[in-house]
Amino acid sequence: MSNPAYSLRQLAYFVAVAEAGTLAGASATLHVSASALSLALDELERALDAQLTVRRRAHGIRLTPAGQETLRRARRLLREADELADAAGGDPGEVAGTVRVGCYTTLAPGILPATIGRFTARHPRARVEFVEGSQDVLQRGLLDGELDVAVLYDHRLDPVLELTPLSSNTPHLVLPRDHRLVHGSAPVALADLVDEPMVLLDLPPSSEHALGVCLAAGLSPRIRYRTSNAETARALVGQGLGFTVLAQAEPGGRDEVAAVPIAEDPSPLPIVMGWSGHVAPTATARAFADAARSA
């Protein structure tokens, strides 16, 4: 097997430039001169015999299609190199290195802390870096190689993703606690809210799913407010400004609202762990997925 004509340093410089969008931005991040970065990019392109970037003065760096594919693979190689270096200092078979995890924003409080706790207790030499975001952002992170794994709702996901089930959430209705329809934990029919406005959690796929639940129950909601923050949605409901439909577990500490079952009995929304089907997950990523499944 011949040695590669490129170096890990060249790949790291290329990834930094691609993520910064400019040589100057990557230079500031890496504390390396822009000329050294430019030279490394030239050498990498010669080694791979491919044009990876289009460099335009005052317009930054644009990746070619070959550059986009190389970026995804370079991120993977650099992560595996880090994992190899970390594992070399431990016992054989010990999980080490960094796993980059994405989590859908509203699922993060109920899933991430406990999963990270289990994972780090089992694998003390491993590290977790996580981001929270919408499904579109997380899917793009998986496909671009920025994330190793992500926790998502199984709703209109890219078919290239590999998925493993974790659990599910059943949508519920959030109303002011003193609302006329709130009677303990008795279910409430969405059709009975036809004259009331809706506060929509405008964070796909939650927004699409909540509207679908309403329409399936025969309710075409009149949306008064939109927010990408579930707690803001609950707070607006608490002020009597409408109702909302949420899927994530109800946190404590907001006495002015009540979470009640929906009489029309909507289907649960599955929660899954996903990773790119183009790249096998690292040992650290697989160990994190095991920790998530053992909840």
Condensed to tens digits (0 to 9), the pLDDT of residues 253-280 reads 578 999 999 999 998 999 999 998 887 7
Range 34-39 average pLDDT: 87
Looking at the predicted structure, is the pLDDT value of residue 59 above 80?
no
Q: Which of 45-49, 143-147, 233-237 has the highest mean pLDDT?
A: 233-237
Looking at the predicted structure, is the pLDDT value of residue 27 above 80?
yes
Instruction: Give pLDDT, residue 251.
Output: 59
* Residues 123-167 pLDDT 10s: 998 889 999 999 999 998 998 888 999 999 998 899 999 999 999
Range 219-227 average pLDDT: 96
Looking at the predicted structure, is the pLDDT value of residue 31 above 90?
no
Tokens 């994330």 belong to which residue?
A: 147
Label residue 33 by pLDDT band (50, 70, 90). Answer: confident
Amino acid at 90: G
Instruction: Give pLDDT, residue 108.
Output: 93
Tell me which residue of 180, 148, 5, 167 sits closest to 82, measured CA to CA. 148
Q: Assign 294 to helix, strand or coil.
A: coil
Instruction: Give pLDDT, residue 97.
Output: 82
**Inter-residue contact 213 to 171 (CB < 8 Å):** yes
Q: Assign 198 to helix, strand or coil.
A: strand
**Inter-residue contact 45 to 70 (CB < 8 Å):** no
* Residues 170-184 pLDDT 10s: 999 999 999 999 998
Cβ-proximal residues to 18 (8 Å cutoff; 6+ apart), any chain: 53, 61, 63, 67, 71
Report the mean per-residue pLDDT for the chain. 88
The DSSP string of 228-255 is S-HHHHHHHHHTTS-BEEE-SPPPSS-T
Looking at the predicted structure, is the pLDDT value of residue 188 above 90?
yes
Domains of the chain and CATH, by start: 8-70 (1.10.10.10), 95-166+271-293 (3.40.190.10), 171-267 (3.40.190.10)
Looking at the predicted structure, is the pLDDT value of residue 81 above 80?
no
Tell me which residue of 16, 27, 35, 22 sits closest to 78, measured CA to CA. 16
